[in-house]
């Protein structure tokens, strides 16, 4: 069970403006709809006003604009959801690994493993691999030759990290992820496919999180790079030679084809696709289900979703839609004199 904190202790540690109830004991976080008297919830805007009025939560985190919309004990924050996340971290700290290597593991004698690291049942650690302080390798994981795992990084069960890949500090890799498999690099010779050996690596920065069953391919020649603070959801595919900029977040089932470069502080919605060899500048936000088929050099939100059709019709309609705004302006200009005449006729 997490250690309870008073509302005053929470505000003292995390900041924010406390409005009454400093001594209230908070045991856990909860939603406005389901929280009880010893839980804290958050309120983000008018859409949830009815839930705020009806909540049984012991306290809430609210924005300044809503500070007077409830009589509950509350903490006022500029970003209630981020504050709520920090409260949850306080009340639900990550477990610390109990050092040790399970007897069923296969550890190459040349591997270097910190004394504070933990390796669970059936894991395999290859020649020359390195595990940093308090690294935690889950049951059934495979770490190839020369793999490097940084301090305080956790690999959940059945993660595979191919040879020579490097993972930074405080990284979380969820079950079933595969880091460093060969990319889909093939050359066509007279109708037959020739496999191109992939001699690059995958380099993952600090504070990255990688979702369950996500795959990140190693580079063909150069490395595939995931910069610090990147957050990848479940079942994402990152192709060979890609570079994902720092603090970018991608939702489930997104796909990034080989050699694409995505900037920093970008977001990519679920099931979006970014074609190969494209570049997205910093601050680009791709909506769910969107296919990015050309490079983007201006920050902003990009969306592209409309019904499928047979390919020939789709291509014609796409060409027309791209000029729709221009056509609308031309029609408006042609209609303007007629509107004036009708207005004059109607007095």
Q: Per-residue pLDDT tens for 238-261? A: 999 999 999 999 999 999 999 999
Residue reference for tokens 């084809």: 257
- Is 285 a catalytic site residue? no
List domains and CATH numbers for the chain: 5-91 (3.40.1390.10), 100-302 (2.160.10.10), 311-345 (no CATH)
301 confidence band (pLDDT: 50, 70, 90): very high
State residue 347's pLDDT score. Answer: 62
pLDDT band at 329 (very low <50, low <70, confident <90, very high): confident
What was the pLDDT predicted at 1? 64
| Chain mean position to CA 281 | 17
Rg (CA), the chain: 26
Residues in the chain: 347
pLDDT greater than 70 at residue 222: yes
pTM here is 0.89
The active-site residue out of 156, 198, 240, 277 is 240
Q: pLDDT at residue 330 above 80?
A: yes
Confidence of residue 324 (pLDDT cuts 50, 70, 90): confident
Q: What DSSP element (H or E) covers 142? A: strand 142-143
pLDDT (average), residues 161-189 = 97
Phi, psi of 130 (to 5 degrees): -130, 135
Q: Can you tell me the distance from the alpha carbon of 237 to that of 289, in angstroms, rounded to the nearest whole number? A: 15
Evaluate if residue 333 carries a pLDDT over 90. Answer: no
Q: What pLDDT score was predicted for residue 305?
A: 73
Residue 55 CA: distances (Å) to CA of 87, 214, 296, 302, 307:
18, 37, 44, 37, 41
Both structure tokens of 268: 């990519």
3-state helix, strand, coil in the chain (%, to 5): 20, 30, 55
Q: What is the pLDDT of residue 196?
A: 94
Closest alpha carbon to 160 in 184, 140, 130: 140
């Amino acid at each position: 069970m997490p250690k309870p904190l008073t509302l005053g202790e929470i505000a003292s540690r995390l900041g924010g403006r406390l409005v009454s109830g400093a001594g209230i004991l908070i045991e856990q976080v909860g939603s406005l709809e389901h929280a009880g008297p010893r839980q804290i919830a958050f309120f983000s805007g008018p859409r949830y006003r009815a839930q705020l009025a009806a909540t049984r939560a012991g306290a809430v985190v609210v924005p300044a604009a809503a500070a007077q919309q409830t009589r509950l004990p509350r903490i006022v924050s500029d970003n209630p959801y981020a504050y709520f996340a920090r409260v949850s971290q306080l009340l639900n700290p990550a477990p610390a690994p109990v050092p040790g290597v399970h007897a069923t593991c296969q550890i190459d004698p040349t591997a270097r493993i910190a004394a504070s690291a933990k390796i669970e049942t059936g894991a395999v650690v290859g020649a020359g691999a390195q595990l940093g302080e308090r690294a935690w390798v889950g049951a059934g994981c495979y770490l190839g030759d020369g793999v490097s795992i940084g301090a305080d990084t956790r690999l959940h069960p059945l993660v595979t990290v191919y040879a020579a890949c490097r993972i930074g500090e405080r990284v979380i890799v969820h079950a079933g992820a595969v880091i460093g498999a060969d990319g889909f690099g093939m050359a066509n010779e007279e109708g037959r496919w020739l496999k191109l050996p992939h001699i690059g690596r995958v380099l993952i920065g600090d504070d990255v999180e990688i979702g369950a069953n996500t795959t990140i391919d190693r580079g063909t020649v150069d490395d595939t790079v995931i910069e610090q603070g990147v957050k990848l959801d479940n079942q994402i595919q990152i192709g060979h030679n890609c570079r994902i900029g720092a603090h970018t977040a991608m939702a489930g089932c997104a796909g990034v084809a080989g050699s694409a470069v995505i900037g920093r502080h970008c977001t990519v919605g679920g099931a979006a696709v970014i074609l190969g060899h494209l570049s997205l500048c910093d601050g680009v936000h791709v909506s769910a289900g969107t296919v990015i088929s050309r490079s983007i050099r201006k920050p902003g939100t990009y969306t592209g979703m409309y019904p499928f059709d047979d390919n020939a019709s789709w291509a014609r309609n796409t060409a027309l839609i791209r000029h729709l705004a221009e056509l609308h302006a031309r029609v408006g200009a042609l209609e303007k004199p007629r509107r004036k005449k009708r207005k004059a006729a109607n007095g």
